[in-house]
Amino acid sequence: MRNIKIVIEYDGTKYKGWQRLGDSDNTIQHKIETVLSKMAGENIEITASGRTDAGVHATNQVANFRTECSMSDHKIRSYCYEYLPEDIVVKSVQEMDLNFHARYNAKVKKYVYNICNNREHNVFNRKYEYHIPQSLNIENMIKASEILIGEHNFQSFTTLKTKKKSTVRNIYTINIVKEDGNIEISVQGNGFMKNMVRIIVGTLVEVGLGEKTVSDISEILDKKERKYAGHIAPAKGLFLEEVNY
């Protein structure tokens, strides 16, 4: 038995997210598993570092799967490139120790969110960024983001319904950079819940627009209710950029 780690890049625009669904084959996981199963002549199930939502992209998603297939790493990668849709690319293939687990062994994840803060949107980037024509106060957004850094209960910043799972997460850094009207918000942490990064971005945008204040952020954390945080920023601007082990 072999344990194979793959790093994947995908455009999530037309997919219903990463996770395999019972009523649809239009997911990233399903597309990759179908190709790998055909290649190996056996049923392949892959585990990702995390589940990206519908419309979210990845430049370096990490996953692993177990197989009896003896094909070399290079040939597995070539096979995937030939048979996967053009909006999904397996960037690297590496055989790992049997104990490696893409989700449980992940230590740090980094997401990047792109905002176009010009009056007009960019025609060529419009599918991959959130267009906000109103001027955003970056200084206040940075001050607000600093309050979110550290270990907190982020229950207000997720659409996760279950109360059985912990909503405590540790955010290590939030960087906000604006250049020529383009804003990049990068968030690094030990893990993220459903829609967490997009709600953080939506909340920071509302601070930037003056709809919320910097001091509101601490209150939102304390209240632990989704309704107090900001809107969910569109999926199209979000990229899973890096997973560290």
Residue positions annotated with a catalytic role: 53
CA 18 to chain centre: 10
Q: For residue 202, how many other CB atoms are within 10 A of its CB?
A: 19
